[in-house]
Amino acid sequence: MKKKFYVEELSSHCHFVKSTGLTRLAVSKNPHHTLTSLYSKTMRALAKMPSTAAYRIHTEKIITERAKIVANNASVTDVESKINCGQVEELIIQAENELLLARKMLGWKPWEALANNAPPQQWDWPPAQIKSLTH
């Protein structure tokens, strides 16, 4: 993974990034605001799900952890290193995708019971039995 090129301005301790080093991925102008907004929207979507839904439980944990890191670290470099899942621009893409998924999950309602019972062998593994070719 290519690293960003930072130019540190000592007077204000700000970082200016020329390039993400990733094709077609522009540098975020205000990543803290963008991530905070996306995390808030995702949390609102999750709040509409039952508190026992597995997706809600696990996603809330991740989003809450990441939101705290963003809130407690003014440095983009610190946010990237503490979350450890790519550059801040990649974190924004991940947050956008998670928000879209959370909204889709609200429509799909995977926490509800199945309309019909699953076929008896649906969860068996391997899905097909391989028979020996020997005679």
pLDDT tier for residue 3 given thresholds of 50, 70 and 90: low
pLDDT tier for residue 9 given thresholds of 50, 70 and 90: very low
Which of 22, 27, 5, 3 has its CA nearest to residue 92? 27
pLDDT mean across residues, the chain: 87
Q: What average pLDDT score do residues 84-109 get?
A: 98
More confident residue, 45 or 4: 45
Q: Is 48 in a helix, a strand, or coil?
A: coil
Partners of 7 in the β-ladder? 16
Q: Is 108 in contact with 41 (CB distance < 8 Å)?
A: no
- Cα–Cα distance between 27 and 52 in angstroms, integer? 38
User: Could you report the per-residue pLDDT of 39-80, keeping only the tens digit for each?
Assistant: 999 999 999 999 999 999 999 999 999 999 999 999 999 999
Task: Give the pLDDT of residue 16.
Answer: 62
pLDDT tier for residue 24 given thresholds of 50, 70 and 90: confident
Percent of the chain with pLDDT over 70: 84
Partners of 15 in the β-ladder? 8
Pull the structure tokens for residue 64. 């809450």
User: Could you report the per-residue pLDDT of 110-134, keeping only the tens digit for each?
Assistant: 999 989 998 888 888 877 777 777 6
- Cα–Cα distance between 34 and 92 in angstroms, integer? 7
The least confident of 22-31, 60-69, 78-87 is 22-31
Q: What is the DSSP letter of 8?
A: E
Partners of 16 in the β-ladder? 7
| CB environment 63-80: b (16+ within 10 A), e (fewer) | beebbebbeebeebeebb
Domain boundaries, the chain: 28-108
